[in-house]
Amino acid sequence: MLPRPSAATRPFANIGARSLGRSFSTTRGMAAAEVTRLGVVGAGQMGLGIALVAAQKALVPVTLVDSSQASIDKGLKFADKLLEKDVSKDRITKDEATTIRERLSPTPRMEDLSSVDFVIEAVPEVLSLKTSIFAQLAQVCPPHAILATNTSSISITKIAASTTPKDNPTDLSAASRVISTHFMNPVPVQKGVEIISGLQTSESTIATALALVKKMGKIPSQSADSPGFLANRMLMPYINEAIVCLDTGVGGKEDIDNIMKNGTNVPMGPLQLADFIGLDTCLAIMEVLHQELGDSKYRPAVLLRRMVDAGWLGKKSGKGFYDY
């Protein structure tokens, strides 16, 4: 008979059971904690979208952090544009738009996240940048706050490890609160959110994350902490293969996109979708899949790498597979 885990080792026994058992049940026994104030790190398209939806749908005040004042100004201008559009279409009243806008509190200071119950990081897919931010969040945020990432491909376990004191690797007080809430782009439109837990993530963290995204009007799907998770494990190889087809002359860009739109009833073809996602983002995700899984089927298309080298990143740069 195996010995029962001691109090000191019990957290790791729970981790092992959840990881090895690979339970994908969405039924959780833990009660979700209430989120009365949200923090968002990164005022780009994703971060702003998350902040705006939280303010509009979940009715929570949001502290929006970005070290660049220009990014904050650009993000808030985009928020104003979206709210004006909703008013013009009679989705909300002008007074409601004003109230929603007032729930957004921009700041360049990470220290202003000291009163949040839940924070979502939404910065570029650079591991060193994310781990640096999470090390700061573990120090700045309250000891109960959930620390979420919007990563589309990087290991949650690896990000969570950055919150663990180097001199005390058994201290999971911060790492157990790390999770991924991977929103889809554009956030105000897309309903799906991936919830990914790392080895360290607690059941109460999962429950709170599920409750928050539902309160934001989203439909969560849970994924194991495996490269690419669910969405990008399927989507990015599809986009990558379309780029290979273009590069090897199997079809022109319009033919590739049209056959998928008209043949499978998707709203846009893979090349146009890649432009909207950002070719640099597509490349970064494919590199993670290739490196982490070691399978040649995930090797990034040569043309994709060349276009990123040229600075042709898609819609955000004005040129990708199409001109914008």
pLDDT tens column, 227-251: 999 999 999 999 999 999 999 999 9
State the catalytic residue, choosing from 150, 153, 180, 194.
194
State the pLDDT at residue 29.
59
The active-site residue, picked from 150, 155, 162, 232, is: 232
Cα distance between residue 117 and residue 143, in whole Å: 9
> How much of the chain is in helix, strand and coil states, percent to nearest 5?
50, 10, 40
pLDDT of residue 179: 98
Copy the structure tokens of residue 214.
């539902």
Residue 254 annotated as catalytic: no
Q: How many CB atoms lie within 10 A of CB 263?
A: 9
Catalytic site includes residue 292: no
278 Ramachandran zone, left/alpha/beta (phi>0; psi -120 to 50): left
Tens digits of residue pLDDT in 56-103: 999 999 999 999 999 999 999 999 999 999 999 999 999 999 999 999
**List 182, 202, 204, 240, catalytic entry:** 182
Residue 2 has pLDDT above 80, yes or no: no
Q: Which two tokens stand for residue 257?
A: 């996109």
Place of tokens 């491909």: 153
Q: Decide if 152 is catalytic.
A: yes
Percent of the chain with pLDDT over 70: 91
Q: Could you report the per-residue pLDDT of 141-176, keeping only the tens digit for each?
A: 999 999 999 998 899 999 999 999 988 989 999 999
Query: In angstroms, rounded to a whole number, what is the distance separating the alpha carbons of residues 234 and 124?
Result: 21
pLDDT of 9 higher than 50: no
**Residue 98 burial (CB count, 10 A):** 12
**Mean per-residue pLDDT over the chain, rounded:** 91
| pLDDT above 50: residue 5 | no
pTM: 0.85
Asked about 144 being catalytic, the answer comes back as: no
Contact partners, residue 139, CB within 8 Å, separation at least 6: none
